């Protein structure tokens, strides 16, 4: 039996500014190795890192929390959390949209009391915040259940002693010390300690402590303060100006470069702020990478037991796998609009024997549109047991580079499925044919 490709989504939860190095470590060192391991088992790995996925529109429409919670649901049952020495943003009641509270009713009891990272842990494991909502029968049961495969990686604080004291904004990035009110700062520290030592262990999911080293020869460019305000919202412009003011740079407009003396100060400050990076992540006596990969491999194997490593495949199956990989990558970024597939659907379901030709200048997205349509139509045919769809994207697999090899590949696929073609399919292009059916 041929195992179909499936997609594994993994949600990465953490605060942002103090975890750039760790998230980068995951993206560059952990997930590439894990992705290769998955592909040998016909699994596609997709890591959800929201550092760059929350837009200003999300923020101004009070939908930041909704985006995070929605993505956790899409990734169930997989969830990993990295936690350092900073609690992170605690959104107030007013900073969460009414629509978010409606979709996640249990969220109301945490608004103004829990940080976004804490809300993510609550939703993923402790108290799914959409409880009380009518379940969608089209969604699997695990969509509404605590994430079965969740892992916590807690950074120890020794690396803080290796950081320079200047500029002070550096340490404020990695701790709760940026909270100006002392009572509030102490409360933040207590809450963080409570989560690290009580709430997280109470989930009964694996918890790994890890160490990091501050390397002054590296840099953290993600911490650079923008020289131009990235927002057009008045309150965000004011916040950006205040941030530069605390750095000793006076800005009256939305562009630091407009004032050369202040711009020189800003560049000097940014060089200082971005010098150094957390690195050398270790858990026990092992690189953290090995620990995370082993954790996730075990979890993925338990969730998809039928997806064992493919040792030997026929040339035809390799061809189909290559086409499936392209289909997925080409359709992933396609944003569907109403009516996009109407003409294609009508052609396939109609009686016309004329070819359907889709043309457009290069780079306009023809392949993405067709890839998305193939995925769409395959889903449509799932209930029709006697109908299938077969496709090839030219140049995206070993046997799709010439007309003859492409036809040979398609004939082999049809013969394997229906068994109604000639006993042998010749390699001689002069003798090859396709039946009128």
Q: Quickly list H helices, 122-231.
A: 168-174, 182-194, 200-202
Sheet holding 43-48, edge to edge: 43-48, 6-13, 78-83, 149-155, 207-219, 275-283, 286-287
Q: What are the backbone angles phi and psi of residue 305, rounded to the nearest 5°?
A: -65, -25
- Arithmetic mean of pLDDT, 227-254: 93
Q: If you average pLDDT over residues 413-417, what whole number do you get?
A: 77
Q: What pLDDT is attached to residue 245?
A: 96
Q: 84-98, 181-195, 380-394: which has the minimum mean pLDDT?
A: 380-394
Question: Which is nearest to 231 in space by CA: 58, 381, 395, 107?
Answer: 58
Average per-residue pLDDT for the chain: 88
Taking residues 279-284, report their average pLDDT: 96
Contact 185, 176 (CB under 8 A): yes
Q: Give the mean model confidence (pLDDT) for residues 333-361.
A: 87
336/192: higher pLDDT:
192
| Average pLDDT estimate for 45-68 | 74
More confident residue, 433 or 256: 256
Q: What's the confidence (pLDDT) of residue 430?
A: 59
Question: What pLDDT is recorded for position 434?
Answer: 46
Helices (H) and strands (E) in the chain, counts: 16, 7
pLDDT score, position 179:
85
Percent of the chain topping pLDDT 90: 55
Least confident of 45-59, 66-80, 113-127: 45-59
pLDDT of 142 strictly over 50: yes
The predicted pLDDT at position 437 comes to 37
Residue 122 has pLDDT above 70, yes or no: yes
Give the C-alpha distances (Å, rounded to integers) separating 82 from 8, 140, 157: 19, 27, 13
Residue 264 predicted with pLDDT over 90? yes
**Does residue 429 carry a pLDDT above 60?**
no
Cα-flanking dihedrals φ and ψ of residue 214, to 5°?
Answer: -90, 115
pLDDT surpasses 50 at 29: yes
Q: Exposed, middle or buried: residue 235 (CB in 10 Å: 0-12, 13-18, 19+)? A: exposed
Model pTM score: 0.82
Sorting pLDDT into bands at 50, 70 and 90, what band is 12? very high
Hey, what are 170's tokens?
Answer: 């550096």
Confidence at residue 435, expressed as pLDDT on a 0 to 100 scale: 43
Gap between the Cα atoms of 389 and 124, Å rounded = 37
Question: Can you tell me the mean pLDDT for 280-307?
Answer: 97
Q: Which residue would you say has higher pLDDT here, 409 or 426?
A: 409
For residue 272, the Cα-to-chain-centroid distance in whole angstroms is: 31
In this predicted structure, what is the pLDDT of residue 1? 53
């Amino acid at each position: 039996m041929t195992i179909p490709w499936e997609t594994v989504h993994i949600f990465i939860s953490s605060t942002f500014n103090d975890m750039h190095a760790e998230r980068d470590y995951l993206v560059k060192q952990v997930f590439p190795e894990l992705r290769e391991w998955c592909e040998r088992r016909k699994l596609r790995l997709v890591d959800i890192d929201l550092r760059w996925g929350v837009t200003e529109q999300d923020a101004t429409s009070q939908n930041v929390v909704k985006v995070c919670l929605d993505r956790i649901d899409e990734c169930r049952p997989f969830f990993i959390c990295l936690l350092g020495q900073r609690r992170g943003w605690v959104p107030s009641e007013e900073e969460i949209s009414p629509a978010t509270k409606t979709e996640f009713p249990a969220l109301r009891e945490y608004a103004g009391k829990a940080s976004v990272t804490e809300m993510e842990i609550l939703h993923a494991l402790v108290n799914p915040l959409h409880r009380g909502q009518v379940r969608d029968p089209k969604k699997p049961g695990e969509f509404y259940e605590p994430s079965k495969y969740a892992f916590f990686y807690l950074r120890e604080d020794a690396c803080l002693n290796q950081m320079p004291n200047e500029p002070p904004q550096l340490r404020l990035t990695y701790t709760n010390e940026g909270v100006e009110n002392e009572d509030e700062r102490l409360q933040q520290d207590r809450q963080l300690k409570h989560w690290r030592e009580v709430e997280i262990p109470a989930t009964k999911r694996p918890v790994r402590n890890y160490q990091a080293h501050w390397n002054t020869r590296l840099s953290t460019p993600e911490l650079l303060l923008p020289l131009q305000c990235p927002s057009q919202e008045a309150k965000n412009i004011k916040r950006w100006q205040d941030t530069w003011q605390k750095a000793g740079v006076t800005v009256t407009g939305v562009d630091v470069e407009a004032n050369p003396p202040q711009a020189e100060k800003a560049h000097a400050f940014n060089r200082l702020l971005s010098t150094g990076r957390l690195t050398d992540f270790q858990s026990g006596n092992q690189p953290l990478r090995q620990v995370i990969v082993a954790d996730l491999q075990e979890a993925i194997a338990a969730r998809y037991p039928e997806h064992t490593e493919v040792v030997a495949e026929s040339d035809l199956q390799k061809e189909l796998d290559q086409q499936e990989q392209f289909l997925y990558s080409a359709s992933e970024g396609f944003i569907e609009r109403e009516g996009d597939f109407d003409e294609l659907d009508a052609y396939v379901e109609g009686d016309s024997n004329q070819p359907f030709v889709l043309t457009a200048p290069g780079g306009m997205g023809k392949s993405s549109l067709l890839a998305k349509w193939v995925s769409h139509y395959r889903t449509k045919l799932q209930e029709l047991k006697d109908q299938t769809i077969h496709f090839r994207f030219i140049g995206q697999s070993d046997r799709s580079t010439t007309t003859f090899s492409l036809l040979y590949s398609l004939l082999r696929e049809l013969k394997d499925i229906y068994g109604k073609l000639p006993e042998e399919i010749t390699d001689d292009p002069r003798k090859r044919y396709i039946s009128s059916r």
